[in-house]
Structure 1
Amino acid sequence: MQMFTKILQSLLLTLLLSSHVIAKKDDAVSIDHIALATLMIYDGKYEKAHEELDIVNQKSPTFDAAKYYTVLGVLYSKEGKTKEAIQAYREAIEATKIKEFKAPKVEIQEKYLFSIGSHEKEKSRQPEFNPKKKRQEKLEQLYMYLASEYHKIKDYKNTVKSLDNAGEKGKNRAELFTLRAECYYKTKAYDSAIKALSTGMKLFPKSSTVLLKQKFYYLADFGLYQSAIKTAKEYMQQVNSSPKEYIALAQMLLEANQIDSAVEILEDAKLKFPKNAKLSFLLGHLYLKKDMKFTTANLFEESSYFDKKYLKDAVEMNRRVGQTTHALYLNTHNIDKVEKLKQKIALYLDAQEFRKIIGLKKALLRYKMLDDDNLRYALAYSYYMAGDYKNAEKELKHISNSELFNKATIIRKNIEKCTNNSLECL
């Protein structure tokens, strides 16, 4: 709407410059109330503008209906009275169609001695007045104002119709094609929306990026994902896109359950930005959705080379795929002591290295990690599996979590069986 606001402001300035507040006719002074109203609008004095327009004698032979209704339309538009503005502009259009356009009077300055004989030459330099062209220019401008008002009330069909009626003015900027496309889209004329954007791209190749982006969103919304991807790639080549834009595109495709297409986009992005950690990490998540866990583990590890915050995920993924030794190696690079210890315990549990977990007790106490019932239970379980029932019981007593407490009860019963009959634990 900012575009239409600028147009409206230029209209006011045009009206001000082309009007004379005081006009002389037959040596009598007459007040141009339309011009005064224009000044009032420009100053934001809308009530005063109405008062001036009310004074205008519409029955006068010199009454300029085209100008009157144009100013009235601008006034209503400024006041937010859209329907009234539409009616006024339509009246202005009809009046302009039958208005007689006359060549402006050219004031010829008095000629002095040395300019005698050059009068004819100067007269011939005056541009030829073309009333047809003048009428067309006025009508095109009025249709542009009309399009703006129709758009305000979401009358999309009449917005497009007015833009078409505006002739060259209705298609002299790329933004007008995005507006056309939006109107077609809102009225479910999807083919016309795409055609409008394609036309805009041909006419304004330097402004095609905005049109391409809008075209992509429409194609994706229509479910035409391959066409959407092609358009997106074209857009990204033109604007020299950042990883963020590739990620946003992939996420949009993912929301539409187009996992393979999202993978394709991120693979392209990864080739362009090989050191971007987030790209590798997100690509890993997509491969995980495709149940390609080893690929995910490799991509998570790769992302951790460039950003250590992804190291935890790399360790965990390698643990899940059974690469415990490699996971332990990656774990040694973790600078977060608490997180490093937690993961080490999880890895030792997977490898059934219970005595190694017991060996970490001092470290767990040092970092006050046994306040976490899960870690306390892991330690108690390790004592139990190592046959140290006394220490296992000692750790189990501190557990308060209800779920873990139930598990601890089972271990206690097993310990009791083992204590009473060692054959039970063979």
Structure 2
Amino acid sequence: MRQRIFILVMVLVANLAQASGPQKIDYLALSSTLVKDGYIQRAKSVLDKVDVLVDDFDFATYYTLKGLVFQKTGYPLVSNIFLDAAIEQGQSNPSIYFYKARNYWQRNEYDMLIAALDQAGEETLENPQMLVIKAEAFKQIKNMEAAWNTLDQGIDRHPQYAQFYSQKFYYLLELGYYQQAQEYARQYLKAQGYTANDYLALAYALRESGEYEQAAVLLEEGVIKYNDNDKLLELLGQVYVDQQQYMMAALVYEFASMQFPRFSAKASALYLKAESPVRALQLNRRILEQEEKFRQRIGIDIQLEDYESMVAKTEPLKRYDLLSDDNILYALGFAHFKNGNYPIATSYLQQINDSQLFTKATYLFKQIEICQNDPYACR
């Protein structure tokens, strides 16, 4: 009985299949779905299968999809050719001008970009991102008044869109209006919450205006919020250097070196400048770049008056070709002089070419002569 029912079902299914016939695939609709879902290469292949010779074919949609596919695959010029064809075929969706504008942006055709967004009309005014792009296009063609007015237009329509305010701030900085940029940032950007880049830009403006203390306070706040941002840490250290607060700068760079080892050399150099050679030595040991490490150790040894240690580094200094540096030659000559090795000291000092350093070396030559004639005078 079960076998008879199964056979009847199979016959019924076969008859239904024959009655319905083969299903025709709508390649245009399928490619549209693929584009929306981000499957661009598949959409491109499917579009190639579309039969454009059928009656009442939808060329507007076809050319639009072609334009989008070429845009997504990096062919902005070809993309706009198809998008223009779509418009000629009756494509009336204003967003098509946004696609054209993006293509013009890629090709640095800013006048054409502005014209495309103007053609989109009200749709552009309702899209804050497009207004930002339009303002930037005006800036690129040196029309700052139009750029500023476009941002004002955007703020009137979308007062909560933070990028309008930040873009105005950066325009003020680029034009060199540092004081106005600071005031603008305090008035508008702070309410939105500074990004790491905002902290950097505003601190730079304060630094350019000579307001180092305010810049340091702002950067300290930024470092607390974005403690993994190496640029904030670097600028904070530099602001302390600007004020000759070398110990504070060294502390900042030492903290930074825990995440970013490249700051170890700066921290060590600044500890040395702050007359803290022991701390400088500790940071020097973290330096990965050996040439920089040995170059810096010479200065540390001088400040520690560890002339034996300095002389012991002669071979590594040769290995890294540091003896071609007149400063290193003078330091080694001085170390040998302090150790009483006068002939070796003289041989290093005689190799110096720099006139200023050679003047200092001349004084040592006189001291060496005195010491050689009267050893007790140099004890």
For normalisation by structure 2, the TM-score amounts to 0.58
* Residue 231 (structure 1) aligned with residue 188 (structure 2): yes
CA contact (8 A) 2:277 2:304 kept: yes
* Residue 404 (structure 1) aligned with residue 357 (structure 2): yes
**Aligned partner of 2:128 among 170, 174, 180:** 174
Amino acid of the structure 2 residue aligned with 1:347: I
Aligned ranges 1:345-384 → 2 under 5 Å: 345-384=298-337
Q: Name the residue aligned to 2:240.
A: 287
- Mapped partners of 1:401, 1:217: distance in 2: 45
Query: Structure 1 pair 360/14, CA: closer, same or farther in 2 (3 Å)?
Result: closer
Q: Deviations over 1:352-387 (max 9, x none)?
A: 222332233344345453343322221111121233
Aligned ranges 1:207-286 → 2 under 5 Å: 208-218=161-171, 220=173, 223-224=179-180, 225-234=182-191, 241=195, 243=196, 246-286=199-239
- Mapped partners of 2:319, 2:130: distance in 1: 68
Amino acid of the structure 1 residue aligned with 2:158: M
* Residue 325 (structure 1) aligned with residue 294 (structure 2): no
Q: Deviations over 1:20-62 (max 9, x none)?
A: xxxxxxxxxxxxxxxxxxxxxxxxxxxxxxxxxxxxxxxxxxx
Aligned ranges 1:6-405 → 2 under 5 Å: 12-14=88-90, 148=115, 171-174=125-128, 195-202=152-159, 205=160, 208-218=161-171, 220=173, 223-224=179-180, 225-234=182-191, 241=195, 243=196, 246-405=199-358
Amino acid of the structure 2 residue aligned with 1:227: Y
- Mapped partners of 1:180, 1:362: distance in 2: 61
- Mapped partners of 2:354, 2:135: distance in 1: 62
- Mapped partners of 2:237, 2:189: distance in 1: 22
Q: Could you say what the CA RMSD is over the residues aligned between the two structures, in angstroms?
A: 4.3
> Helix, strand or coil: the match of 1:306?
coil
Amino acid of the structure 1 residue aligned with 2:288: I
- Mapped partners of 1:302, 1:335: distance in 2: 17
Amino acid of the structure 1 residue aligned with 2:167: Q
CA contact (8 A) 1:209 1:235 kept: yes
Displaced runs of 4 or more, over 6 A: 5-11, 180-185, 189-194
Q: Deviations over 1:224-273 (max 9, x none)?
A: 31332453345566xxx5x4564355435544555455434432331222
Query: Structure 1 pair 174/13, CA: closer, same or farther in 2 (3 Å)?
Result: farther
- Mapped partners of 1:316, 1:342: distance in 2: 11
Amino acid of the structure 1 residue aligned with 2:259: F
Query: Structure 1 pair 247/418, CA: closer, same or farther in 2 (3 Å)?
Result: same
Amino acid of the structure 2 residue aligned with 1:391: I
- Mapped partners of 1:15, 1:356: distance in 2: 80
- Mapped partners of 2:203, 2:82: distance in 1: 37
CA contact (8 A) 2:241 2:249 kept: yes
Amino acid of the structure 2 residue aligned with 1:380: G
CA contact (8 A) 1:277 1:302 kept: no
- Mapped partners of 1:219, 1:405: distance in 2: 49
CA contact (8 A) 1:297 1:317 kept: yes
CA contact (8 A) 1:377 1:396 kept: yes
Consecutive unaligned residues of structure 1, counting only runs of 5 or more, are: 17-81, 83-144, 152-158
Amino acid of the structure 2 residue aligned with 1:300: Y
> Helix, strand or coil: the match of 1:326?
helix
- Mapped partners of 1:169, 1:363: distance in 2: 68
Q: Deviations over 1:207-227 (max 9, x none)?
A: x14323223235555533133
- Mapped partners of 2:301, 2:291: distance in 1: 16
Query: How far apart are 1:297 and its partner, in Å?
Result: 1.0
Query: Structure 1 pair 196/324, CA: closer, same or farther in 2 (3 Å)?
Result: same
For normalisation by structure 1, the TM-score amounts to 0.52
- Structure (1 or 2) with the larger CA radius of gyration: 1
Identity %: 24
Amino acid of the structure 1 residue aligned with 2:263: Y
- Mapped partners of 1:282, 1:187: distance in 2: 29
- Mapped partners of 2:361, 2:202: distance in 1: 49
- Mapped partners of 2:231, 2:170: distance in 1: 24
> Helix, strand or coil: the match of 1:275?
coil
Consecutive unaligned residues of structure 2, counting only runs of 5 or more, are: 1-76, 93-110
CA contact (8 A) 1:315 1:330 kept: yes
Query: Structure 1 pair 378/193, CA: closer, same or farther in 2 (3 Å)?
Result: same
